[in-house]
Structure 1
C-alpha cells in the first residue's frame, strides 16, 4: 500500500493480486479536510468506480449535464468521455475502487453502457449488499482493515465470474491501452467477430466505443507526461502522446478536463493526485 497527500487530504492506494487484479485496478482510501478549493474535477480514465462516503455529504455534476448529483452514502460511476466536478464536504472521507476496463461488467453482469457518464446511488443498484459493505467500512478504523473489507467484497463476487473469459478480455484491455493501429483491424485480429458486432460487444462490456476508449487512453498518456513535467514542448508532447498535431492535443485536452494544458500544468499541484494516473513524483510518495 502506498500513501501520499494533497490539499490536506491523505490518500492510500493498494493494488490487488491475482485473480482480483483481473477485475480491480486498485483500491483507494481518502481522508482529510480540504482547504481552499470549492471544486475538484475527475477526468476520464477508462475505469468504472464504486465509492463509499464515510464523511460529509458531497455534491457534484457532469460537464455535459446541469443536473446536480448528491453523494450521501455510496456511488457507482461508469466510464466517462467528459470530466465530472464535485465539491468536497468539510470532512472528506471515502473508500472505494476503480475497476479494470472490462472488470465491472464481468463482475456484476450489468451492461456497462447503462452507467456511461452517469453516477448512481450504489444502494439503489445493489441494495442491502452495499449497506453491509459500508457498515463494515464504518466499523473498521485502520486503513489496512478497510482495504481488506473492500477486497473481501470483491473476492466473494468473483466466485460467480468466469476467470478464463476475463483473462482474455484483460489481454484486450492491455492491447487497447497501447493501440497504434486502426480500430477496425484491431477488432478483427483480437475480438474475432464482425466489425459491427465487436463494436457492440466492447460498448456493452466497457461502456464506450473502442474509438472513444482510444481517445481517453491517449489523453491519459498526455496527462502522465504533464504530471512529470514543469516545462514542456507542446508540439513534442502532442506527437509523443499520439496526437496528429498540437491543436488536436489542445482541443481534446480541453474537452476532457475543462482546462488548457498550460493552465493544468500551472495548477496541477492543487489537483487531487488520486487522478494523476498513479505515476507520482518521488517527493509525493511516503
Structure 2
C-alpha cells in the first residue's frame, strides 16, 4: 500500500487549507531506504498531528543532534535545510495551510514563526490535542475527514473575510510566482513598501522570496512526480529564464544541485514503490 494518502479538502475550507495528507508506516525497517528524509526550504506553514505513539525528530543543517518534536505541532516557513527522522512506526496527519491562513487563525506575525516549531495547542488551544486523539481512534478515512472538517468549520466561522492582500497572494500562487511584485502590490491596493510589510507579517518573508520559493516548490514537485522530465523542460514549465536560474535556486533552497537532488528524489520514489509492493 502507499505510505501516504491525500484527503479531499472541502470547498469551503480551501480558503485556509491547501492539502490534507495522512502518512501511515507500520514498519520502516522493511524498506530499502532510510527513514530520514531531506526537507528543503519552504514558504508553506503546516500543522502535524501525531496519531500514534512515536514522534518525529529533526535537525537543521550543521547541527549534530536531532531534536524531538512535540506530538502535535505547527511549523512556520522553513528557511533552513532540515533532516527529518521518522520513527519506525509513523502515523501522522499533515495539514498544509494556504498562504496567510495561519496568520488569520492566530494573529501572530508569521515572521516570528520562521524556522520555528511550536506546540499546536499554543495556536489552536487544547481542542487540537483532543482532535488528534479522536482522529487516532477513528475507524475510517471518512471519519477522519469529518472530524477535521468539523474542527475547521468552527474556526473559519470566526474569521473575517479575505482581504485584498490575501486575494493578491492567491493570484501570485496561482501564477506559480511569475507575476512582477509591483503588479501584485497593485492587486492588493497597496504601495510596494506596504505590501512588503504585510508580507512579512502574514507570510513571514518578503514577497520576492515568497515568489521564488513558490516557483522552486513547483519545480521540485514536478521532478518528484515525473522523474524522467529534463531539468531544462522543468525550468521552462515553471517560468525560469533559463536552466541556470533553476540551478541557482536549487543551490540556495535545497543545498544541492539538481543532479544531487535527483538522487534524493529517486530514493523517495523507491520508498513509495516498496510500499506499493507490500
Identify the TM-score tier after normalising by the shorter chain. Answer: 0.7 to 0.9
Once the 2 structures are TM-superposed, how far is the Cα of residue 38 of structure 1 from its aligned partner? 3.9
Q: 1:144 deviation in Å?
A: 2.1
CA contact (8 A) 2:178 2:211 kept: no
Which residue of 2 is the match for residue 194 of structure 1? Answer: 191
- For normalisation by structure 2, the TM-score amounts to 0.83
Which of the numbers 216, 222, 227 marks the counterpart of 2:224? 227
CA shift in 2, pair 1:201/1:272, >3 Å: farther
Partner of 2:9: 16
Gaps of 5+ in 1: 274-279
Q: Which residue of 1 aligns with 2:59?
A: 61
Which of residues 26, 30, 36 is equivalent to 2:23?
Answer: 30
- Change beyond 3 A, Cα 1:272–1:226: closer
Return the match for 2:178 from 176, 180, 189: 180
SS at match of 2:47: strand
1:260 corresponds in structure 2 to: 257
- Return the offset for 1:23: 0.5
What is the match of residue 207 of structure 2?
Answer: 210
Contact 1:27 1:150 in 2 (8 A): no
* TM-score, with structure 1 as normaliser: 0.81
SS at match of 1:104: helix
2:112 maps to 114
Give the SS at the match of 1:30.
strand
Deviation, 1:45, is 4.0
Work out whether residues 227 and 266 of structure 2, in 8 Å CA contact, stay in contact via their aligned partners in 1: no
CA RMSD of aligned residues (A): 2.7
Which deviations, in whole Å up to 9, do the C-alpha atoms of 1:193-223 show, x marking residues without a partner?
2221111112211222111111111102322
2:62 and 2:108 map into 1 onto residues whose CA distance is: 24
**Deviations along 1:12-31, whole A, 9 cap, x unmatched?**
21232232110011211111
* Residue correspondences, number: 265
How far, CA to CA, are the matches of 1:66 and 1:211 in structure 2?
Answer: 32
